[in-house]
């Protein structure tokens, strides 16, 4: 970390991501005194807005429960300025550069001649990633301190388009300057995986094909894609959630122990394990699309205004992946994600092998280790226990580490807060490296192209249901079971 004055440029300052995530996270860091001392934030977007209008827009998403928070918010807005302009216009971006130089002059210590650091956060649709990164390079990178670029998916739609984007960014920024966000890497429980695995002796010992039967990584949301059908229909759930968020989790669950905690050591191991996964085919995946809810109250995917009536974009997908290495050969990794499901949940479920040579008069449930990413963060282990009392029966019980109970009201930071802080500290460990992205696309691209070429129709499932029943059948075929199939 440096003590230089820092300017954070937020491109797309009036958009959804900036409103809902970037600015609230910056505020949370500001409130905790975690922003560098002389930080200025400069918002940039196409619409003309007064500072008051910008404030009004952003405040709605920033929680200020106490009077002190409200005062802090006033202070926060004092470090924010706003400039409007196009993303591909030299003239407009020069205007932005001048405005930035002006605020930087104001905040620098009169006696200091220190360099200014600059962070460029692209909270923008992918269509403008390339022009704006060129503009930034041309007009905003003459500062003497560091230059860091934050980008977020979609990183293309397949291997070819992702490579094209990577090349264009690489023409303007070094890999060491690029921070690719996958916000799942900023989630508390995903960060905890490394510690659970490598700071405890008993998980390491059983973390392999001999003891683990299957691994299920699940993401469910109880809502559809109202309001973002345009974006979603172009990408679908596999690109929106599975290829990135779920694969990142898979990589951390499956990788070998990194030689140390440095970003490169961790990412080297992630890339290595991803390279051991053969690419998927259509036979490895079940896709679904939600229809109107059973009670008729919530419209189906194809009824949304911004979705074509004949769309075959999946809103649910389940894929079975195999890792061809010594540790994991033969262990299915079952990735499941769905919109319009009954509840919100993201979890990792590790199912251990059946007990060999069971001596008890009944079947034994498998041990499971569950890491609940959200909501209600928890780690729990399911094990067989004696039913208390005079009976000799066994019952499935849980060793349960529920965060709320164990750590009380301790707050868990939002993923974006953790990630922006990492950027300010120059730590790449929780960001996606270019080669990592590449391997993830290699695994998914052939299957995605096959689905699209064959115009593969997703299986319909009712809004609020468990998704296509063939997904449960696929899970069973691979030795896994769910609460519903037990
Ligand atoms: C985003 C996806 O990356 O992640 C959304 O584009 C999804 O479709 C979201 O809803 C889920 O994030 P979280 O943090 O709410 O689980």
Q: What is the pLDDT of residues 194-227, one digit of tens each?
A: 999 999 999 999 999 999 999 999 999 999 999 8
Banded pLDDT at 105 (limits 50, 70, 90): confident
* Residue from 21, 187, 221, 239 to probe ligand 1 pocket by mutation (most atoms less than 8 Å from CB): 221
> How high is the mean pLDDT of the chain?
94
The CA radius of gyration of the chain, in Å to the nearest whole number, is 24
User: Does the C-beta of 240 come closer than 6 Å to ligand 1?
Assistant: yes
Cα–Cα distance measured from residue 83 to residue 472, given in angstroms and rounded to the nearest whole number:
52
**pLDDT (tens digit, 9 = 90+) per residue, 364-396?**
999 999 999 999 999 999 999 999 999 889 999
Which of the following is catalytic: 38, 245, 322, 478? 245
Q: Is 245 a catalytic residue?
A: yes
User: Does the C-beta of 221 come closer than 6 Å to ligand 1?
Assistant: yes
Cα–Cα distance measured from residue 251 to residue 271, given in angstroms and rounded to the nearest whole number:
8
Question: Separation of 454 CA from ligand 1 center, angstroms?
Answer: 28
Q: Which atom of ligand 1 is nearest to the CA of 228?
A: 8
| Adjacent-strand bridge partners of 346 | 219, 374
Question: Separation of 240 CA from ligand 1 center, angstroms?
Answer: 8
Share above pLDDT 90 across residues of the chain, in percent, rounded to a whole number: 90
Cis (ω within 30 of 0) for the bond into 142?
A: no
Specify the DSSP element, H or E, that contains 42.
strand 39-45
Buried b (16+ CB within 10 A) or exposed e, 118-143: bbbbbbbebebbbbbbbbbbebbeeb
**pLDDT (tens digit, 9 = 90+) per residue, 148-166?**
999 999 999 999 999 999 9
Question: Separation of 184 CA from ligand 1 center, angstroms?
Answer: 9
User: Does the C-beta of 233 come closer than 6 Å to ligand 1?
Assistant: no
Residues 126, 250, 266: CA angle, nearest 5 degrees? 85
This prediction's pTM: 0.96
Cα–Cα distance measured from residue 397 to residue 306, given in angstroms and rounded to the nearest whole number:
47
């Amino acid at each position: 970390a440096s003590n230089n004055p820092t300017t954070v440029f937020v491109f797309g300052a009036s958009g959804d991501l900036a409103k809902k995530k970037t600015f609230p996270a910056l505020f949370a860091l500001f409130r905790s005194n975690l922003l560098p001392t002389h930080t200025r934030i400069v918002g940039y977007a196409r619409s003309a807005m007064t500072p008051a209008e910008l404030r009004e827009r952003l405040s709605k998403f920033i929680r200020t429960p106490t009077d002190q928070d409200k005062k802090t918010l006033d202070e926060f807005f004092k470090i924010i300025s706003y400039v409007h302009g196009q993303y591909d216009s030299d003239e407009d971006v020069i205007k932005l550069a001048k405005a930035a130089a002006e605020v930087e002059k104001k905040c620098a210590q009169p006696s200091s001649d220190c360099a200014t650091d600059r962070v460029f956060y692209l909270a923008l649709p992918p269509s403008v990633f390339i022009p704006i990164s060129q503009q930034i390079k041309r007009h905003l990178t003459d500062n003497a301190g560091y230059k860091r670029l934050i980008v977020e998916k979609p990183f293309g739609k397949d291997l070819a388009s992702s490579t094209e984007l990577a090349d264009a960014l690489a023409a303007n920024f070094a890999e060491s300057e690029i921070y690719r966000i996958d916000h799942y890497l900023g989630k508390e429980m995903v960060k905890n995986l490394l510690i659970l695995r490598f700071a405890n002796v008993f998980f390491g010992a059983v973390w392999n094909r001999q003891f683990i039967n299957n691994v299920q990584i699940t993401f469910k949301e109880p809502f559809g894609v109202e309001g973002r059908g345009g974006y979603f229909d172009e990408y679908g759930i596999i690109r929106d959630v599975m290829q990135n968020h779920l694969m990142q989790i898979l990589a951390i669950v499956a990788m070998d122990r990194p030689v140390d905690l440095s970003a490169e050591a961790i990412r080297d191991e992630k890339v290595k394990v991803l390279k051991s996964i053969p690419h998927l085919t259509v036979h490895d995946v079940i896709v679904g699309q939600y229809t109107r809810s059973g009670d008729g109250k919530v419209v189906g995917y194809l009824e949304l205004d911004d979705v074509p009536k004949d769309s075959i974009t999946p809103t649910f997908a389940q894929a079975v992946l195999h890792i061809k290495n010594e540790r994991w050969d033969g262990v299915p990794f079952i990735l499941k994600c769905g919109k319009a499901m009954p509840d919100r949940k993201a979890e990792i479920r590790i199912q251990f092998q059946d007990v060999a040579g069971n001596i008890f008069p009944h079947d034994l449930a498998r041990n499971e280790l569950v890491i609940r990413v959200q909501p209600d963060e928890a780690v729990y282990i399911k094990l067989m226990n004696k039913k208390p009392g005079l009976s000799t029966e066994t019952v499935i019980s849980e060793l349960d580490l529920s965060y709320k109970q164990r750590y009380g009201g301790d707050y868990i930071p939002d993923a974006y807060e953790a990630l922006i802080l990492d950027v300010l500290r120059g730590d790449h460990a929780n960001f996606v490296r270019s080669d990592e992205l590449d391997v993830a696309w290699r695994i998914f691209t052939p299957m995605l192209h096959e689905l699209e070429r064959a115009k593969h129709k997703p299986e319909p499932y009712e809004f609020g249901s468990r998704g296509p029943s063939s997904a449960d059948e696929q899970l069973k075929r691979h030795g896994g079971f769910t609460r519903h199939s037990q």
